[in-house]
Structure 1
Amino acid sequence: MNVQSVRQMFPILDQEVNGHPLVYLDSAATSQKPKQVIDAIEDYYKRYNSNVHRGVHTLGSMATDGYEGAREKVRKFINAKSMEEIVFTRGTTTAINLVASSYGRANVGPEDEIVITPMEHHSNIIPWQQLAKATGATLKYIPLQKNGTIALSDVEETVTENTKIVSVMQVSNVLGTINPIKEIASVAHKHGAVMVVDGAQAVPHMKVDVQDLDADFYAFSGHKMCGPTGIGVLYGKKKLLKNMEPIEFGGEMIDFVGLYDSTWKELPWKFEGGTPIIAGAIGLGAAIDFLEEIGLDNIEKHEQKLVAYAMSQLEKIEGVTIFGPGPDERAGVLTFNCDDVHPHDTATVLDAEGVAVRAGHHCAQPLMKWLEVTATARASFYVYNTEEDVDAFVKALIKTKEYFGDVFG
């Protein structure tokens, strides 16, 4: 993989921020978009903008082909059995909420359990909290090891015959931890529970095979994988989706509407009420083409190399704490704090040097409590980052420590 050639495909990277070349290290929040994706969206709006599934005219047919063609690209990308198992949503959050509101309300009761982990993003905590409150079910947490990983023995102790849903992120957006989803799913299924996976931080960075993982539901977002904002995917096993009720009602998702009753379309359209996210789906399809051309294996190896290099450099800086497991057990996410410097101050000084990182609780407040911090700073790497980006980041971080050392020393 020629990283310099890849970088040239991202117009936004060719600029200066605060007088310095932009070093973008916030891809865990949202990735940048290659020209191929931008062009695909522009082409739709310029050349064949139309609604889908309705019109018989040429533009309508072209738009429908583009929209449903993107669904087939998603199916192949995650190795789902059928296009019927691919539901377009607004993103990971909407996808998980769909499962909690539709499958959860119909299948979880007062004597049941929902099992998650303390490392989850808020979008994989709050829907289950609300489901537990609405049904009287018990919300349980798989404990974390000291380095922020999950031990299968703890999974086996937490999941019981009363567990109906197990929901775990494949990759932590804070710790970078890569969780053993296939093994956790096996434990869940042994007890008759369904396995829900938050794949927002996994799908952009590594090959995902939902059949091999044996995930019952798998959710991810387009904007973290070089696609546009506002589009996401819920994969669900056909036998589960078929028995679920939609949670949004209106046009597009109906088969027949009478004065007092209505029936729904077949899968997956019964879950896609209203005018769908057409441009977003087409852009997502272009992003998949882009990622597959580079190769997910190449992307994963590149990011592992970068995060290992970055960790080795940060470990040389006195007073920097790195959170999470070692480089062999994590994806391209590096969360850290500088002693006596608030993460927001760290990010502000880094930004003055042209380096974009994230600071805050990263929508993971329970995990912050477990780490015994109020906030952290986070650098996250992607296909367009280089070792030179890491060097610029480290240099700016040393400058940050020196600045605050002079101020408070």
Structure 2
Amino acid sequence: MTSTVTAGLTEERVLRLRDDFPILAEQPAGVPLVYLDSGATSQQPRQVLDAEWAFRTQRNAAVHRGAHTLAALATDDYESARDRIARFVGAKPTEISWAMNATDALNTVALSLAEANRAHADGADAVDPMLRIREGDEILVTEAEHHANLLPWQRLADETGATLRWIEVDDDGVWTTDAALAAITERTRVIAVAHVSNVTGLIAPVEQLVAAARAVGALVVLDACQSVPHRPVDLHALGVDAAAFSGHKMLGPGGIGVLYLAEALGAALPPARVGGSMITTVTMTEREFLPAPQRFEAGTQPVSAIVGLAAAVDYLEAVGMPAIEAHELALGERLAAGAASIEGVRLIGPRPGAERAGLASVIVDGVHAHDVGQVLDAQGIAARVGHHCAQPLHRRLGVAATTRASAYLYTTEDEVDRFLDALSGVRAYFGAGR
């Protein structure tokens, strides 16, 4: 989704926000920390840490179980968090289910689709047409997907006999809207894409993909890990059928993810996992399940992490998602333009001047990404190196790894410039430019 960009965060406001993040004052390498790995895991403000601690020490109890006061208070916190997170992404509370992380949420969708079609293959009642995936059908992804949004669909294709197809990227790791629309056929049953690429920063044309999917009756599953934390996202407006995002990438705790299932899909899908809390009646041979969202929440949930995630959403809303988006778009352009101007450094993804998220991945000629990372780390710069859980993309680019700098609301222009200055000296340090 391309949002209307408003004024970003002033330098003064960013510096005030940074005071909320204790870890940013640390010096793990003996020099001031420049944290440019928020695309992997963001840092947490005191407000989130305090909210989770307060729940653990004042209201901790099993939710939706027991009649005592503490259990009722915990349940109120639990469902209030669901309401707040649903509002944050433009969804109904009944469309929001908890998962361990986004990977777990995406697996839940694929496993539930497999379960629905397994029942059909075993001669049970015909599967709902919305869920039907048969031999000869197609599942469409892109060549740039994170493994979390690729492996579940590989397995679903194997189990159903469907064909996994992908939208190819060019030499910069970019795929086009035209190529995506051309790949959607009458046989397409699922389209699974990242809203924002975690490697290239490409922002997908979700509305156009959804319109094309509707024309052929396909489901659209959105990996929203790199969009929900960084830009306004309205899942109803986008029209996707399912989406997933992780708490630890949006100022929240680890161990909690969110699965969005549009009302119709949530009502049709069978649960991927079964157990306590998601049933109405159980006998020794039969079981009946609760409606969504509880149908997809088997067992005890990480309630304190859910409370922490709700506090993170409150924090982001107080800062303002349009302002965060504008701030990061400016930093993304600064990263892209600066990296592209350094001799011997190859920028991956959209070219400078094209819209991209607030991250940039690069290849340094003659220097392995892990060595680049060590040079940066010695200067206090925490950046990601590796294949970023996107091996097919890196294989297409002809490299084993890239170096990625990813910004967030607490990132300053000075930190971006420190990264670029350090990056410009890498080849000379290793004698690669001689």
TM range (shorter): over 0.9
Structure 2: how far apart are the matches of 1:310 and 1:198? 24
Q: How does 1:238-277 map to 2 (within 5 A)?
A: 238-277=263-302
Q: Which amino acid aligns with 2:403?
A: A
1:371 aligns with 2:397: yes
Q: Shift of residue 153 of structure 1?
A: 2.5
SS of 1:351's partner is helix
- CA deviation after TM superposition for structure 1 residue 83, in Å: 1.2
Question: Is 1:176 matched up with 2:186?
Answer: no
Q: Which residue of 2 aligns with 1:334?
A: 360
Residue 326 (structure 1) shift: 2.6
Residues 51 and 179 of structure 1, relative CA distance in 2, 3 Å threshold: same
- SS of residue matched to 1:201: coil
1:108 shift after superposition? 1.1
Match status 1:381 vs 2:407 = yes
Equivalences for residues 202-217 of structure 1 within 5 A:
202-217=227-242
1:356 aligns with 2:367: no
Partner residue, 2:69: 58
What is the deviation of 1:16?
Answer: 1.2
Cα offsets for 1:51-71 (capped at 9, x unmatched): 100122121111111111110
Residue 32 of structure 2 is aligned to residue 6 of structure 1:
no
Contact kept? 2:114, 2:159, Cα under 8 Å: no
Whether 1:97 aligns to 2:107 is yes
1:359 is paired with a residue whose SS is strand
Distance 2:375 2:170 in 1: 33
Equivalent-residue separation in structure 2 for 1:99 and 1:280 (angstroms): 22
Does residue 37 in structure 1 map to residue 48 in structure 2?
A: yes
Judge conservation of contact 1:155–1:187 (CA < 8 Å) in 2: no
Q: Which of residues 371, 384, 390 is equivalent to 1:345?
A: 371
2: CA distance between counterparts of 1:27 and 1:127?
25
Superimposed CA distance per residue, residues 93-146 of structure 1 (whole angstroms, 9 cap, x where no aligned partner): 111111111124422111211001000000111001101111111001122345
Gaps of 5+ in 1: none
Deviation at 1:150, TM superposition (A): 3.2
Look up the match of 2:78: 67
- Establish whether residue 85 from structure 1 lines up as the match of residue 110 from structure 2: no
CA contact (8 A) 1:149 1:179 kept: no
- Within 2, Cα distance between the matches of 1:74 and 1:187? 28
- Is 1:158 the counterpart of 2:183 in the alignment? yes
Distance 1:399 1:142, change over 3 A: closer
Partners of 1:318 and 1:240 lie apart in 2 by 50
* RMSD over equivalenced CA pairs, Å: 1.4
Is residue 18 of structure 1 aligned with residue 32 of structure 2? no
Give CA-to-partner distance per residue, 1:231-255, whole Å, 9 cap, x none.
1111111111111111211111111
Q: Is the 8 A contact 2:172 2:397 kept in 1?
A: no
- After TM superposition, the structure 1 stretch with the greater mean CA deviation from structure 2, 353-362 or 247-256, is 247-256
C-alpha separation between the residues in 1 aligned to 2:239 and 2:156?
A: 23
Identity of aligned residues (%): 45
Instruction: Pick the aligned partner of 1:194 from 201, 215, 219.
Output: 219
Post-superposition offset of 1:288? 0.3
In structure 2, the residue corresponding to 1:17 is in which secondary structure? coil
CA contact (8 A) 2:333 2:356 kept: no
Residue in structure 1 matched with residue 311 of structure 2 by the alignment:
286
In the aligned structure 2, how far is the partner of 1:239 from the partner of 1:310?
41
Contact 1:73 1:285 in 2 (8 A): yes
Determine the C-alpha separation between the residues in 2 that align with 1:321 and 1:144: 16
Contact 1:105 1:135 in 2 (8 A): no
Q: Deviation at 1:147? A: 4.1
In the alignment, does 2:330 pair up with 1:305?
Answer: yes
CA distance in 1, matches of 2:418, 2:252: 27
Counterpart-to-counterpart distance in 2, 1:299 and 1:113: 37
8 Å Cα contact 2:200-2:361 kept in structure 1: yes
- Do the aligned residues in 2 keep the contact of 1:51 with 1:275 (CA within 8 Å)? yes
Change over 3 Å in CA distance of 1:332–1:270 after alignment to 2: same
Q: Which amino acid aligns with 2:431?
A: G
For 1:312 and 1:192, locate their aligned partners in 2 and report how far apart those are by CA, in whole Å: 41
**Alignment partner of 1:321 out of 346, 352, 364:** 346
Question: Which residue in the other structure is 1:137 paired with?
Answer: 162
The answer to whether the 8 A contact 2:37-2:406 is kept is: yes
Structure 1: distance between partners of 2:332 and 2:180: 28
How far residue 311 of structure 1 moved from its aligned partner, in angstroms, is 2.4
TM-score by length of 1: 0.97
**In 1, distance between residues paired with 2:341 and 2:190?**
43
Instruction: Determine the C-alpha separation between the residues in 2 that align with 1:313 and 1:156.
Output: 33
What TM-score do you get using the length of structure 2 for normalisation?
Answer: 0.91
Separation in 1, partners of 2:22, 2:76: 28
Shift of 1:262: 1.3
Tell me the alpha carbon deviations over residues 39-84 of structure 1, each in whole angstroms, 9 at most, x when there is no partner: 000001111111100122121111111111110011101111x211
Call closer, same or farther: CA 1:155–1:399 in 2, change over 3 Å: closer
